[in-house]
Amino acid sequence: MTSKFVGQRMRQNRSPFTSLLEKVAVFQFADMAIKFIDRESRQFSKNWQLCIATVSCLSIE
């Protein structure tokens, strides 16, 4: 019974720290993903604007 109680205490003590680490990891991953998507979409919009400009120049000619 004593060892079971110690095991429960250890789990209780460990879990907030573990969940904190998981939250930090998830946050860092989300931050990376957002930065990547932001960079890609900015690159895409530049290419898209260039494409529209090219098409409009060609249609004027």
pLDDT in tens, 2-54: 666 655 655 555 667 778 888 888 888 989 998 998 888 888 888 888 888 88
Range of the domain at 50: 5-58
pLDDT, residue 35, reads: 92
pLDDT at 59 over 60: yes
Both tokens of 53, joined, read 């400009």
Chain centroid offset of residue 28 CA: 6
Structural domain count, the chain: 1
The CB-side HSE value for 58 (13 A sphere, CA atoms) comes to 6
- pTM comes to 0.46
d(CA 48, CA 40): 12
Chain centroid offset of residue 42 CA: 17
